[in-house]
Structure 1
Amino acid sequence: AAQVFAEGLNAGTTVHVSILDSKGKGVATTSAKGSNGVVLKTSVANAAQWTSETPNLYKAVVTLKNGTKTIYQTNEKFGFRTIEVRRGDGIYVNGLQVKMKGVNRHVWWPETGRSVNPQIDLADVQLIKEMNMNAVRCSHYPPDKAFLEYCDSLGLYVINELAGWQKAYSTKAGEPLVEEMVKRDLNHPSIIFWANGNEGGTNKALDDVFTKWDFSGRPVIHPHHRPGNHFGGIDCNHYEDYYSTKKILEDSLIYMPTEFLHSQDDGGAGAAMSDFWELHWGAKRSGGGFLWALVDEAIVRTDYNNVLDANGLNANDGIVGPYRQKEGSFFALKEVFSPVKIRMENLPQIFDGRIDVENRFHFTDLSQVSFQWALVNYRKPWDALAGYTVEKRGVTTSPSVAPGAKGTVQVQLPADYKAYDALILAAMGPDKKEIYKWTWKVKPAEALLSGVVFSSDSTASVAETDTTYLLWGGQNSLVLDKRTGLLLSTKNAAGDNLSFRNGPVLVQGDATLTGSRRFKEGKSEVVEFTYSGALKWVRWKMQGNGWADMDYEYELNGSYPFAGVSFSYPQNFVLGVKWLGKGPYRQWKNRLQGTPVNVWQNLYNNTHTSYNPIVYPEFKGYYGEVSWMEFSTVEGKFYVASKDTGLYVRLFDFYGLSGARPHPELPVGNISFL
């Protein structure tokens, strides 16, 4: 059905509506005598339905005729879809329950503030889709029509919101604003909710005004930040923690927070989102939710040498930067929200090519998703480039797995697959764009060090004074302090002393040196320190080729956020690092997603997320699953490697939030191996 508003028509004027499909083919027509608010009805056989996964659009061509003469013509795109709130149950589109993987979007660009162009609108929709999201809240005002048109054509569910923040309009002021917004935007199939204000800015007398002007009768919601303000069967309460979220989801209302996990600086957004999303995905009465927010709102200050100014911490709350620079949470969310869910963390020792998969699409069978695999070898520290080389690749037959069901992807690997470093599996959606790419190491950690750490037939040497041990092998030497058990200095014959020292210091527990000794182990020289307390012993072994092994044993009882040892190095001496491990963005304990194992390299920077100057990825942080790391410094290069799994390297001091103490607090020292 269509409702046409026209004024000043002659008695003989008729309204004709033709409906065209995406190829321009006419699929239905209808007409009626012209009058203001005339309703025309017709039917379309086997209409292709609109959803965020299948954004099928039709065009309505509306013509005013006086007899056979056309006096006016216009057209507008629309889609066929239903939206239904089933109280105590969930949100349904076209009869199927859906959950919003959403984000709040402020309209913003650094040079123009809240004035943007269609190219920026399109880029924002594409960014949201790239994160595997399916929804956006237009906070806190209706967007330009171009943005809604892109949501229609690319597929995003939209909350369209009455302009305002935390103060409600009077009924007299609000009624014409609601009428204008609804009339302008009601034909967009992407809009599934109207939002009546925000966080206390709701005049409940306006609820019926939305319904009055919306011919399709979309639901109205009340975004709010105080419990007890649910409306229409949906609770939108903002910023609940994990445990209160769980409690609300176990109650009788549908819970769809219209703001949560505030993305200030490098917090929120992807941090903790994996836990939150698994909670929402598994809860019957969850409607999903909307993260705050998409973009850091920094403005170019032409009065201050064009610096980017976000008013302190007031507007550094985006998943992407002001110029849409992708922060670490962007990639974490891309994995968390992937509609192709793969939980396998490590490749089984005996691998038959079967990978368990869950289909988290709402409307798409996995037979419409394509899968490609590759066997790769990682580059070495001294290679000019980072990354890997693809040695073999193939295509996997896509399994038929219905939405919400689980199945198996069968990868047909060659018999010699264990000769390669890693397996990569990429999933491509029906639109041929990447959904996500998973990486699993094939070789064990020690084998990945082949060609990096060499054994040696050469003989190492040792010298001892009253206070030190001097170990050397090949071109390298190190000095250990007998009185403390700590590394004093290291040196390569071709360079000056390296300032990597003052370790190992145990990051948890105490340690009191009780003794030391030196002895030979084959052609290597060993110095061992013994301790009382949590640290039991530390053993340094110098090989004849210059590689020094450090092993240690400790014992802790209780619960600790991390364990390991630290050293120190002057931060201003560092030029950059290259490493085989997770990256290129740092990880948090509650944001491990979106960081595949690869060979990465970062130049040193001292950026604080979202603050000027903006540099991504951030250099300082925790980096996981490290096999080796090359430090480039003003004193030369040095290397750290481990044949153990699960090694995290901490680089210097860093913070997730401005003014907040890190939790857990950072380890002692400034370079840690955890």
Structure 2
Amino acid sequence: MKRIIFCVLCLVGLISVGVFAQQTKVVYLSGTDKDNTVKWEFFCTKGMNSGKWTEIPVPSQWELQGFGGYNYGHDKKKSDEQGLYRYHFKADKSWADKEIQLVFEGVMTDAEVKINGQLAGAVHQGSFYRFNYHVNNLLKFDADNVLEVTVSKQSADPTVNDAEREGDFWVFGGIFRPVYLKVMPKSFINRVAIDAKADGNFGIDVFTGNIKSGDKISVQLKTLKGASFGTPLTYSVSNPADSIRLAGKFTNPSLWNPEFPNLYTADVSIVRNGAVVHLLNQRFGFRTVEVRKSDGIYVNDTKILIKGVDRHSFWPESGRTLGRKIHLQDIMLMKDMNMNGVRMSHYPPDAEFLDLCDSIGLFVIDELTGWQQHYGTPVGRKLVKELIVRDVNHPSVVFWANGNEGGFNFDLDNDYAFYDPQKRVVIHPWSNFNNIDTKHYPEYSYIENAAKKQDILLHTEMIHGLYDGGHGASLDDNWKLIRQNPRHAGGFLWALTDEGVVRKDKKDSLDTDGNHGADGIVGPHREKEGSFYTIKEVWSPVQPKKPDFTSQNITIELENNYLYTNLSDCKFSWQLVKYPLATDKKSGFTQISSGKLSVALAPGKTDNFKLNLSSNWKDADALRFTATNSQGREIYTWIWPIKTTAQIAQKNLISIVKQKSKITESEKENEYVVVQNGVTYTFDTQTGYLKTVENSKGAVSLGNGPILAGVDQTLQSFKHTKTANGGIIVESSYSGESTLHAKWLFAAGKPVTLEYDYTQTGTANFYGITFNIDESKIKGMRWLGDGPYRTWKNRLKGVSTSVWEKSYNNTITGETFIYPEFKGYHANLYWAEIQAGSSSFKVYTDKSDLFLQMLKPDKQRTSFIPHVNPPFPEGNLGFLNAIAPIGNKFKQADSMGPQSQKNIAVGSKVSGKLWFDFN
């Protein structure tokens, strides 16, 4: 290839050009995305709906349209059908003297292309890459043209199948991205490759066709609003070549970073005799990426910490055929979680997704396909070129990835730089390469020990999110440790979404291929799991510390964890709130006053700021504090209690004082019965448990307790006594592995009270007491506490205190998708209403940091992975002082940090108090 390099450091004056610039005309032969398709003739050779000519929307995946056969990459036997496509179109007669290219954005897997019966070029191999053919000499102008594409799901190159179709993801077939014609002048700019540095240095490689001596190449930079930036770079052609480099320096450009994604366009033109022959507009950003050995990753001279996620390009009804709406939705989900990075797993995405990453702001790792196996060198070299040529100008792309988890062809590592003037570093996800350790799924100890090493750490997959495990669980501990290591550059959670496909061959059921695809922070249709909000809080770039409400001057400490943003660009507000009583039948909270806080704080700094709360702040139950970024997006809202649990309990108990009716007792074989205010309490004298409760409407769904959670116990004594004021006390004492003393108090005009204490030694998954309730009667729950999502010992962040209400569901996270899940541990209980029709009741506590165990989640069908199925006590309604952590697909919980360990008994007596309202 002939190449001319021309460097311009400064130029004076402008070039006079013609008014009517010829830009590339794009003529779509297919639709543009999954929601805008065009019908082509189609014939499938095997599987569903095969053996007949019919129609199919393009772009699409043919399995999702009811053709062929489905496969997940791990399937040993793969379907191997072909799809024959046919489409008729007209070529305008005005194109006869133009350069015309037929472009495919992505075809799975091998594509043989013919126009009017003639091959357009070599069969293309590789699914996720843009490829094109020069077709001028194949077209009939002002006449009918026939485009025929034979798509083979299985590639004729076995290394393509190894890299693309043996991976841990769904594998499909079809023309799944758009097809179009590029119509350009005979002398044209084919593409450009830009290197725009943070210091204003600018270089551009201009790739042309059919230029002539005397032509000028001009490059004018512009803002996105169209204003010229700097003077143009120009080059006068004396010796035509297909590659020309122009370079210059621009003063004080606005830099690109994910917090301020400033962009420019380069208007690149061929000028002939004062007229623009062809004009190409290329968007780009000024920014510099550096990997400083044994130090860190720097963007624009700022050391970065990536808070990222791995993203498959996927939608249940359309496979990997997507559209702008889905791309935007996914990026907004990431931004909502306070993420600043995304890794393309395990293939290049739609170009439009990268456009949005550029404009909205995310660091991107762009990846050549390969999952534990790699492309052969001949085909791999072609695909590396196609990857870089398409994506080279995206400022969001900060690294190239050469395959994944051993799927590295080392012969290709140096090829990336051939096409990338920025010379971005190539990484090997899972491996240590180019002084970047990308270790997948590190244990806590690995991150600890890595602090002693000199390599930069950037985990390209971490905290595997199978079902409800991983993601948020242990992230708080791991992120604190990551921040302590100055050579740590962050990581990417696996993965953003559950890959669940709607199976046409299985009555449109949603299939995640067992536990292979159920890895998401959100479900297939982007249903938010609890970890979504945990990540949002842990990765909040603003980290506040709970104010001291015993102080005279209430201040708040703020830490700015942004990379580039001063907190003066954010907004802060507070609300003083009160919670409704349990008897009010309301949810949420009531605001009693509010205010704003002005903050100026540079990145990486911490300082205290006076809140200036209203004078009635002590009347509030809690303080809500909200941080909002410069785009108006909520960063996070924190809620801190002002009133204690005991104060909230007292306020509620006053509202349910009962009439002072006489309390009666009776005994029969193995039962002791107390009646108060029309409610009958039956105790089993052999076990000491409250056996049943009945009110005027019938049996209440509570009994068989209290039992000490997870402990074998033996009844030592059961007794009941009358008090001087006509009350009754029922007591049960237990011994065994641990001790438990339960005391029921029945007093006139007061709700029934359970006082209990226990001692426990050693480590355990949970501590506390439990009862049994009849799950078949449960309709829902309403409670004051942390919600609306359940928690685990190592996932306590991401929930907030309010009065919540949710209906019963039997969701199995990652298999069914009604969130938040009903069953599980709920933190920071104040009171709860167990909604069970006539069996409903309320319970109150004055114990801070108490957990409510609501039933037991069903285990997943793939329950052979115990790490994601934490234990629960024998009872199904628990009031617990400690709960179990959860692990992830590859790691048991206790390897993931301090919060992920079993609970250690305090050794001393633990006491608690519950009030019940059964009316």
Give the TM-score normalised by the residue count of structure 2: 0.71
Name which one, 1 or 2, has greater alpha-carbon Rg.
Answer: 2
- SS of alignment partner, residue 197 of structure 1: strand
- Most deviating of 255-264 and 440-449: 440-449
The yes-or-no answer on 1:640 pairing with 2:843 is yes
Contact map agreement 1:459 1:524 (CA 8 A) in 2 = no
Give the C-alpha shift of residue 525 in structure 1. Answer: 2.6
Match in the other structure for 2:372 = 166
Counterpart check, 1:553 vs 2:753 = no
Map of 2:407 onto structure 1: 201
1:369 CA drift (Å): 1.6
Aligned partner letter, 1:540: W
With 118-127 and 36-45 compared, the bigger mean Cα shift is at 36-45
1:363-382 CA-partner distances (Å, limit 9, x unpaired): 11122221100011112334
What does the per-residue CA deviation read over 1:376-424, in whole Å, with 9 as the maximum and x for residues that have no partner? Answer: 11123344542112221111121x2221111123211112211111100
- SS for the counterpart of 2:594 is strand
Q: Deviations over 1:442-495 (max 9, x none)?
A: 1111222355323456245131314333223323231222222101111222x0
Rounded to whole Å, the distance in 1 between the matches of 2:372 and 2:734 is: 61
1:332 partnered with 2:534: yes
Q: What amino acid maps onto 1:516 in structure 2? A: K
Q: Do the aligned partners of residues 508 and 308 (structure 1) sit closer, same or farther apart at CA in structure 2, a change above 3 Å counting? A: closer
Question: 2:370 touches 2:408 (CA, 8 Å); kept in 1?
Answer: no
Correspondent of 1:587 among 791, 797, 803: 791
Deviation at 1:352, TM superposition (A): 2.5
Worse-superposed segment, 242-251 or 115-124: 242-251
SS, match of residue 126 in structure 1: helix
Q: Which residue of 1 aligns with 2:276?
A: 70
Give the one of 321, 326, 334 matched to 1:115.
321
Secondary structure of 2:653's aligned partner: coil
Alpha-carbon distance in structure 2 between the residues aligned to 1:166 and 1:60: 39
1:340 Cα deviation from its structure 2 partner: 0.4
* Pair 1:428–1:222, CA change in 2 (3 A): same
Alignment correspondent of 1:146 = 352
* CA distances 1:195-234 after superposition (whole Å, capped 9, x unpaired): 011111111121111011101111111112xxxx411110
Q: 1:351 to 1:440 in 2, by over 3 A?
A: farther
Shift of 1:279: 1.0
Q: Take 2:533 and 2:807, find their aligned partners in 1: how far apart are those partners?
A: 20
Question: Which residue of the partner structure matches residue 721 of structure 2?
Answer: 518
How much does 1:2 deviate? 1.2
| Aligned counterparts of 2:748 and 2:315: Cα–Cα separation in 1 | 59
- Which SS does the other structure have where 1:287 is aligned? strand
Task: Note if 1:529 corresponds to 2:735.
Answer: no
Deviation at 1:527, TM superposition (A): 1.7
What residue is the counterpart of 1:375 in the other structure? 576
Which 10-residue stretch deviates more, 92-101 or 651-660? 651-660
Equivalent of residue 264 in structure 1, options 466, 478, 494: 466
User: Residue 610 in 1 paired to residue 610 in 2?
Assistant: no
1:416 aligns with 2:616: yes
**Inter-CA distance 637–200: structure 2 relative to 1 (3 Å threshold):** same
| Contact 1:621 1:651 survives alignment (8 Å) | yes
The residue type equivalent to 1:423 in the other structure is: L
Pick one of 777, 785, 788 that aligns with 1:573.
777
SS at 2:652's partner residue? coil
Helix, strand or coil at the partner of 1:47: coil
**1:388 is the counterpart of 2:592:** no
1:9: which partner in 2?
211
**d(CA) in 1 for partners of 2:764, 2:815:** 32
Alignment correspondent of 2:293: 87
Q: 2:647 matched to 1:447? A: yes
- 1:540 corresponds to 2:741: no
Q: State the 1:653 CA deviation.
A: 1.6
Please say if residues 715 and 732 of structure 2, whose CA atoms lie closer than 8 Å, have aligned partners that are also in contact. Answer: no
Query: Offset of 1:347 from its aligned partner?
Result: 5.0
Q: Which runs of 5+ in 1 are unaligned?
A: none
Aligned partners of 1:460 and 1:471 also within 8 Å: no
Q: How far apart, in 2, do the equivalents of 1:620 and 1:548 lie?
A: 26
> 1:474–1:546: 8 Å Cα contact kept in structure 2?
no
Aligned residues: 666
Over 3 Å counting, the alpha-carbon distance change for 1:450 and 1:538 in structure 2 is: closer
Distance of 2:649 and 2:539 partners within structure 1: 33
How do residues 613-624 of structure 1 correspond to structure 2 at under 5 angstroms? 614-624=817-827
Aligned residue in 2 for 1:359: 560
How far does the alpha carbon of each residue in 1:564-611 deviate from its partner, in whole angstroms, 9 at most, with x for none? Answer: 111111211100001000110100111111001111111111110011
CA separation in 1, counterparts of 2:858 and 2:461? 23
| CA-to-aligned-CA distance 1:23-51 (integer Å, 9 cap, x gap) | 32111221113442211123322111111
* Contact preservation (8 Å) 2:576, 2:591: yes
Query: Counterpart of 2:779 in 1: which secondary structure?
Result: strand
Match in the other structure for 1:397: 598
Alignment CA distance shift 1:351-1:610 (3 Å): farther
Check 1:384–1:303 CA distance in 2 against 1; reply closer, same or farther (3 A cut): farther
C-alpha distance 427-523 of structure 1, shift in aligned 2 (>3 A): farther
Shift in Å at residue 145 of structure 1?
A: 1.0
Residue 322 of structure 1, CA deviation = 0.5
| Residue 241, structure 1, aligned to residue 447, structure 2 | no
Q: 1:655 & 1:284 partners in 2: Cα distance?
A: 42
Whole-Å separation in 2 of the counterparts to 1:435 and 1:409:
18
**Superposed displacement of residue 521, structure 1:** 5.9
Alpha-carbon displacement from aligned partner over 1:540-572 (angstroms, at most 9, x marks no partner): 012334621001121122333321111111211
Contact 2:261 2:358 in 1 (8 A): yes
Q: Is the 8 A contact 1:265 1:656 kept in 2?
A: no
- Counterparts of 1:485 and 1:641, CA distance in 2: 22
The whole-number CA distance in structure 1 between the counterparts of 2:771 and 2:223 is 66
Aligned residue identity for 1:163: T
AA paired with 1:503? G
Other-structure match for 2:222? 20
Q: Which amino acid aligns with 1:626?
A: L
d(CA) in 2 for partners of 1:166, 1:394: 55
Structure 2 CA distance for aligned equivalents of residues 544 and 653 of structure 1 = 35
CA contact (8 A) 1:295 1:319 kept: yes
Q: Deviations over 1:608-643 (max 9, x none)?
A: 00113x210111000010100001114332011101
Q: Could you tell me which residue of structure 1 aligns to residue 138 of structure 2? A: none
Partner letter of residue 610 of structure 1? G
Contact 1:473 1:546 in 2 (8 A): no
CA contact (8 A) 1:477 1:546 kept: no
Structure 1 residues 442 and 523: CA distance shift in structure 2, 3 A: farther
Aligned: 1:492 with 2:692: no
Structure 1 range deviating more: 59-68 or 584-593: 59-68
Secondary structure of 2:488's counterpart equals coil
1:508-537 per-residue CA deviation (whole Å, 9 max, x = no partner) reads 443423231312264533222233443342
Match of 2:680 among 474, 477, 483: 477
Instruction: Tell me what 2:671 maps to.
Output: 468
Partner SS state of residue 331, structure 1: helix
The 3 A distance-change label for structure 1 pair 267 and 655 is: farther
**In structure 1, what residue type is equivalent to 2:456?**
I
RMSD value over aligned CA atoms? Answer: 1.8
State the alpha-carbon separation in 2 of the partners of residues 231 and 596 from structure 1: 42
Residue pair 1:460, 1:525 contacting (<8 A) in 2 also: no
SS of residue in 2 equivalent to 1:243: helix
Looking at structure 2, the residues matched to 536 and 238 of structure 1 have their Cα atoms a distance apart, in angstroms, of: 45
Q: Shift of residue 436 of structure 1?
A: 0.5
Letter in 2 for 1:435: I
